[in-house]
Amino acid sequence: MVRDLKILLIISGCLLCVKLSANDSARVTRVKDGDTYVLRKGNTDFTVRLKNVDAPESKQQFGFLSTVYVSKLISGKVVKYDSTGKDFYGRVLADIWVNNQRLDSILIRNGWAWQYLQYSNDSILKNCMLLALQEKKGLWECGAFSVCPPSLWRGYNLKYRNKYCNGCK
C-alpha cells in the first residue's frame, strides 16, 4: 500500500514536470518583482523566474519601477511559457511570451532589467541592452555606471551598497 502510494506520487510529479516543459500558457496572478511571477494553471499556482534577465531587487533603486512596468504588461494576463527546469530556490525557470513577444527582450530593451550574462549569451538580448543604454531608458537614465547590477547589490553589505549603489547623482 505505502509502496503503491510512493509510486503514484513519483508518477504524478513526473507528469507535472512534463506538463510544465511543453510550450504552455497560464494566467499571471502576481508579480513579485521584475523577474519573478506567480502563474496559475488550472487550480495550481507556481512561481516562475524569467530566464536570461536580472531585474533590480525590490529594495534596490529602480526595483519598484521595474516591478510596476512588468505589472502593467502582464498582471492578470494569460502568457505563454517554456519551462527549462527549476532554480536553487525551487522556482520554475522559463521563457515567457506576452502578445507574441519575448518578455525578456521587452524588459531589457526598455531598460528595466539586465541581460543575465552568467546564464545567457543571447545576441538579441545583448543588442536590446546596448540600445537601452544608448537611449538611457529605464534604469540607464544616468548612464551605464549609475546603477549596480542586482547580482552585486545582493552580495554587498549595507556599507558597500551605500558607497557603490546610490544611482543617479
Residues labelled catalytic: 49, 57, 91
Q: Which three cell numbers stand for residue 14?
A: 513526473
Q: Determine the Cα–Cα distance for residues 57 and 63; give it in Å rounded to an integer.
A: 5
Cβ partners under 8 Å of residue 36, min gap 6:
47, 48, 49, 50, 91
Task: Check the CA dihedral 124-130-133-135 and report its sign.
Answer: negative
Burial of 89-109, coded b for 16+ CB within 10 Å and e otherwise, reads eebbbbbbbbeeebbbbbbbb
Helices (H), 22-82: 63-74
H-helix or E-strand spanning residue 44: strand 44-50
Q: What share of the chain is helix, strand, coil (3-state, %, to 5)?
A: 40, 25, 35
